[in-house]
Amino acid sequence: MSRQLDATPTSLSSPATITELHPHFLRNVMTRLVGQEPTAAGSLERLPFAAGDTTGGTETELQAVVAGDRTRVDLPLVIEQSDYFANIAKRAAAGETPKRLITELERYLAGNRENVWENSWVRFPARSLSPFALRVFDNDLSADKKSPQAGRRSDAGRFFVTAPDGTQQLRVPVSYLLKLSLADLIGSQKLPAPLVETGKRLLGHYLNDNTSPETFSFHVVPLTRQGGMGRALARETSKRFLFTQMLAMHTNYSFGLKESGQRAMVYFAPHPPLRQKELNDHVPDAFYRDLFMSPCLSGWDRGEEKYRYMQLCHQVLSRSQLNAVAKLREAGIITNNLVVLPNVSNVSLANNGTHVSLGSRRLGNLLSDPASGFSQAHEKYLGDLAIKMAEHFLPLFVGTYSAAPYRLGYTAFHPEKALGFLPHELDYTHLRMLWRRWQKKAKISVFGQPVTPFGPPWIDRMVSGLFGLKGDFVPDFRLVDYLICLMSTPQSPALNGRVGSSDKLKRDLAEMGVFDSQMSLYLLYKLREHAVMGFSGFEGRHYSQFDSIRDDLAGATDLQMLVNALAFKYMAQGTLTHPSIPDDPTLESERRQIFFACAIGNPTFYVRRNSTNRFLLRILEKTRGVRNSRRYPGYARVKVGEYRLALLRLLRQDAGDLIEMMGLERTMADLEARLVDPERSSVAGKLTSGILAEVGGKQPLKVNADDFNRGAERYYREGLRRKHMEEALDALEEDFHALDRAACEGSGAERLLLQGAGEERGAAALLAKVRGDFLAERLDLGTLRRLMNLTLMTVQRDQAEADAALKGKTGAASKAPPLYRAR
């Protein structure tokens, strides 16, 4: 067995060999993983991602805004003072360009009734920063942080501006402002050394990447029954969000933002802001990138290189969206030349979601040990198979655990707009089927026939009003509006188990003008390779907006872990192999269409009766109400709701022992409630109810599309943000009580920390006293800093407890997994 396993890296490079030796190969690998015959008694506990084997981390993308008058906030000031604005104003006055170009920009600047400027930067005096924060900022301006002799970045000048009174001001995006806020907290007061160390460690967890502020887990979270499984990861994420709120409030006071008419805010919101989309229609793509692409000051040694990479991503996605229109023509969805071309500048990178990464300690230990015989080739082989299987279960997550409700007005229902990047994600057959069903679902029919918009806005508005055409309501439009995965080509399947397959697909897609080989391959569910990330596991990239971090993220994490464990159980039993889910683009599209149907809210999808995807056919055998399609000969018509209930039945049947071992009975009951009663129990239903309450409506389609979507933005910014903060404060209150108990029961470390932070009376008493003022953002700077110091203490305790749990499982000499972050 050992000789066969050691020889497999060579075998993996040969398609013929891997097919011939497949049963033996998989059995040998799984035997090595579980340490004995895979079907033997007791092997369940040794499966990857079984109870006690899983660690977790999340990366969250947040929406940033700066509230204030246009004369005080950076974004409108930069636009008005830009060469672009001056040039078009001059050319419009000379009659060389349409006056509407300048009037539309002026309308954008003057028409902001709420005075909320999404993804604006901020300006504040350099003297506001403590000496330590100034050193952090100066270091982040380095061209190469590992080589100080390289000097400053070539664009360092853009982060400084002279105020009207002649003083020097710093100019930075909110995502980087959060890091400076933490550095200032550390440097502006005398703290106990352990808290200073913890604060400095957390600086690297605030990334200045893409457009939105990004944070990743403060520590690796062991997912155990004793620790609450998914609730432990949700708790860490919730507390990190709360601390981020504290950092934003801290900047508003400590840096004088509030005094100067600026208020920085961060919160969860899934869609690119409507006003940012509007602005994107009025400016060139290069100017858009200059306004909104973050400069990558934090998170990378050579930030300017990363900044150029993010510009490349924007250019590639913009070009890719244009290429999608040609594919719609080839697919027969666009049948004439009446199209509305997408803007050459795409805003989809401004969407926000949460990535949940789960790692297996067993896989990581084997890959860390050269003597194990377990290599990157084995990791890729098993990982790709687990991903293909997991993709069948992703419809359980969409709308149930996360969502992004959105109203598409009739005038936006052009296929070239509504279908977004789907032409790159599905084959033409499934794309046509999905579009036809979407049209039937949407309120765009006249005398029973779907009528898509004609093109000229005034005609579309007239038709909409004449026939009462409302458009549609989509449960998770983020998953449609963003390039979330890429379809394989016949020559280059991405998930065939062979090392290098993803790179080969990227080269193919680059030649087709769809992608760029320098970019990381976009997938719904992604392998996190040990050689790259330092841990072995999977990243779920399909999460949009949570209603409750505590409940929704926890349940989603439990389910994601269960699906991972079930995949390896199937492999150990020999019932899941690569031939079970063949590597064919059409079959890849066949299973992914279900995911997108859920996101759109389509009630049905279609599958070939003679599909060679044996795993999908097994699920359909358990699906009720499947019948032959009258419209598509040779296809079965499947109800999305029944398919999801079949997945639940399959989990209870095939993963019953895993559910019992992990203690996930309540998770399964909760999942069933979300599926059976979505309006009251699913995230899509709860978020929609919150938005309707915000706009004063009863049903989404009875609310104007713009009103609904703008109401959603307000709800995320105010009501839902407060709800997330209150949940996190509940968790913090528990931690403060634990901190106080530890100090009272003789723990010298906690007692000294509390005394060093000036909190001899205890942490819980302070929180109880200031909770209301904190939520209302009325705390004075000194009290806010006291609360932040105490929160840092709990983060330090969380880290220590997690480290102890990780070492306790495999021994003190065991190396803990690295922190989870995207690369």
Q: Which tens digit of pLDDT belongs to each residue from 577-610?
A: 999 999 999 999 999 999 999 999 999 999 999 9
**What is the per-residue pLDDT for 800?**
92
* Residue 201: other Cβ atoms inside 10 A: 15
pLDDT at 341 over 80: no
Retrieve residue 363's tokens: 């896989």
| CA–CA dist 461, 472 (Å, integer) | 15
The mean pLDDT of 118-141, rounded to a whole number, is: 96
pLDDT at 403: 98
CA distances from 705 to 343, 418, 612 (A): 20, 14, 42
pLDDT category at 811 given cuts 50, 70, 90 is: very low
Q: Specify the range with the lowest mean pLDDT, choosing from 237-246, 328-337, 804-813.
A: 804-813
Pairwise CA distance, residues 66 & 623, whole Å = 49
Categorize the per-residue pLDDT at 10 as very low, low, confident or very high, splitting at 50, 70 and 90. Answer: very low
Amino acid at 83: D
Asked if pLDDT for residue 18 goes beyond 80, the answer is no
Q: Give the pLDDT of residue 30.
A: 79
Mean pLDDT of 749-757: 66
Band of the pLDDT at 24, cuts 50, 70, 90?
Answer: low
Closest C-alpha among 652, 537, 661 to residue 44: 661
pLDDT at residue 19, rounded to an integer? 39
Residue 432, Cα to own-chain centre: how many angstroms? 28
**Would you say 817 and 368 are in contact if contact means Cβ atoms under 8 Å apart?**
no
> Does the pLDDT value for residue 757 go beyond 80?
no
| Residue 819 to residue 355: CA distance in whole angstroms | 13
This prediction has a pTM of 0.93
Q: Count other C-beta atoms under 10 Å from residue 666's C-beta.
A: 10
Number of CB atoms found within 10 A of residue 450's CB: 17
296 in Cβ contact with 489 (< 8 Å):
no
Instruction: Select from 539, 534, 215, 530 the least CA-distant residue to 356.
Output: 539
Q: What is the pLDDT of residue 590?
A: 98
pLDDT at 823: 47
Residue (of 499, 483, 660, 555) closest to 228 by Cα position: 555
Nearest Cα neighbor of 457 from 421, 414, 407 is 414
Query: What is the pLDDT, as a whole number, of residue 23?
Result: 53
In this prediction, residues 438-459 reach a mean pLDDT of: 84
Write the DSSP assignment of 166-222 as a string of letters.
S-EEEEEEHHHHHHHHHHHHHHTS---HHHHHHHHHHHTTEE--SSS-EEE-SS-EE
Which of the four pLDDT bands, split at 50, 70 and 90, describes residue 376? very high
Task: Give 249's Cβ-side CA count (13 Å radius).
Answer: 22
Give the type of residue at 157: G
Give the tokens for residue 498. Answer: 């062979």
List, for residues 639-666, the tens digit of each pLDDT value.
999 999 999 999 999 999 999 999 999 9
Q: Which residues of 769-797 are buried (b: 16+ CB within 10 A; e: fewer)?
A: ebbeebeeeebeeeebbbbbbbbbbbbbb
pLDDT single digits (tens) 190-218: 988 999 999 999 999 999 888 899 999 99
- Phi and psi at residue 171, to the nearest 5°: -135, 110
SS3 266: strand
Mean pLDDT for 345-358 is 94
Q: What's the rounded mean pLDDT across residues 39-67?
A: 88
Is the pLDDT assigned to residue 788 strictly greater than 80?
yes
Please list the residues that pair with 214 across neighbouring strands: 61, 207
Mean pLDDT value across residues 662-671: 97
Q: What is the DSSP letter of 553?
A: I
User: Under DSSP, is residue 61 helix (H, G, I), strand (E, B) or coil?
Assistant: strand
Could you write out the DSSP letters of every residue in 715-753? HIIIIIHHHHHHHHHHHHHHHHHHHHHHHHTT-HHHHHH
Q: Provide CB contacts within 8 A for 780, sequence distance 6+.
A: 253
Nearest to 354 by CA among 144, 776, 58, 781: 58
pLDDT surpassing 60 at residue 40 = no
Cα separation of 813 and 763, whole Å? 34
Q: Determine the distance from the C-alpha atom of residue 378 to the mean position of all C-alpha atoms in its chain, rounded to a whole number.
A: 28
Residue whose C-alpha is closest to residue 582's, from 613, 608, 536, 615: 613
The pLDDT value given to residue 51: 85
CB 425 within 8 A of CB 592: yes
Question: 549 near 211, Cβ under 8 Å?
Answer: no
pLDDT of residue 429: 97
CA neighbor of 681 nearest in space, from 270, 395, 399, 396: 399
Structure confidence at residue 37 (pLDDT): 61
pLDDT score at 14: 35
Tokens of 138: 């100066």
What single-letter amino acid sits at 615? F
Query: For the purposes of burial, counting CB atoms within 10 Å of the CB of 235, is it exposed (0-12), middle (13-18) or buried (19 or more)?
Result: buried
For residue 141, which of 312, 311, 309, 300 has the smallest C-alpha distance?
Answer: 300
pLDDT at residue 218, as a whole number:
96
Binned at pLDDT 50, 70 and 90, residue 362 comes out as very high
Beta bridge partners of 360: 54
Average pLDDT, the chain: 90
Among 408, 108, 49, 382, residue whose Cα is nearest residue 229:
49
Q: How confident is residue 13, by pLDDT bands cut at 50, 70 and 90?
A: very low
Contact indicator for 232, 54 with CB cutoff of 8 Å: no
pLDDT score of 564? 98
Place of tokens 């969860």: 268
Per residue in 421-431, pLDDT (tens digit) is 999 999 999 99
pLDDT at 162 over 70: yes
Query: Band of the pLDDT at 287, cuts 50, 70, 90?
Result: very high
> pLDDT tens for residues 540-587?
999 999 999 999 999 999 999 999 999 999 999 889 999 999 999 999
Output the pLDDT for position 11.
Answer: 34
Residue entry with tokens 């969000």 = 241
For the chain, the distance separating the N- and C-terminal CA atoms, rounded to the nearest angstrom, is: 36
Rg over alpha carbons for the chain, rounded to the nearest Å, is 27
**Bigger pLDDT: 183 or 96?**
183
pLDDT at 21: 41
pLDDT in tens, 212-265: 999 999 999 999 999 999 999 999 999 999 999 999 999 999 999 999 999 999
**Closest-CA residue to 161 (of 196, 126, 112):** 126
Who contacts 85 (Cβ-Cβ below 8 Å, separation ≥6)?
79, 102, 105
SS3 for 124?
A: strand
Q: Give dist(CA 588, CA 345) in Å, integer.
A: 29
CB atoms under 10 Å from CB of 207, counted, come to 26
Task: Over range 672-684, report the average pLDDT.
Answer: 97
**If pLDDT is split at 50, 70 and 90, which confidence band does 38 have?**
low
Give the span between the Cα atoms of 583 and 634, in whole angstroms: 21
For residue 427, give the 3-state DSSP assignment.
Answer: coil
Instruction: Determine how many CB atoms are found less than 10 A away from the CB of residue 469.
Output: 22
As given in the structure block, the two tokens for residue 522 are: 């976009």
Is residue 483 predicted with pLDDT exceeding 50?
A: yes
For residue 58, the SS3 value is: strand
User: What percent of the chain stands above pLDDT 90?
Assistant: 76
